Amino acid sequence: MKNKLFKEAESLFEKNKLEEAEKLFNKIVENDPNNDEAFYYLGRIKNKFQNFGQAINYFNKALEISPDNEKVKHAIISVNNILNISNSLYYENPYTDDDLYE
């Protein structure tokens, strides 16, 4: 069952008040380091900020706590797909600023 603090953090997340939600989810995991849902939300917040490394770390922590959590597995796959696409685009069309100086 979700406590009041978790519900408040979740509500802030849904309202896209991510910095505020992040603070509350961090408080939750400080008090309950086995709260896989809070780690999942922290991963989603980092993902929205395009901080993919930290997102993966939070998702992995959630998966460590709850190995059968399918939504966490899906989130990890999604972030990995974003990173793979980003890497593919970079290597196919590496940015150079040579044309700027001609």
Longest CA pairwise span in the chain (Å): 63
4-93 sits in which CATH class?
A: mainly alpha
pLDDT at 3: 92
pLDDT at 89: 56
pLDDT tens-digit map of 49-68: 999 999 999 999 999 999 99
pLDDT at 88: 59
pLDDT at 25: 98
Tell me the whole-structure pTM to 2 decimals.
0.80
Residues of the chain with pLDDT under 70: 1, 84-102
**Rg of the chain taking only CA atoms, in angstroms:** 17
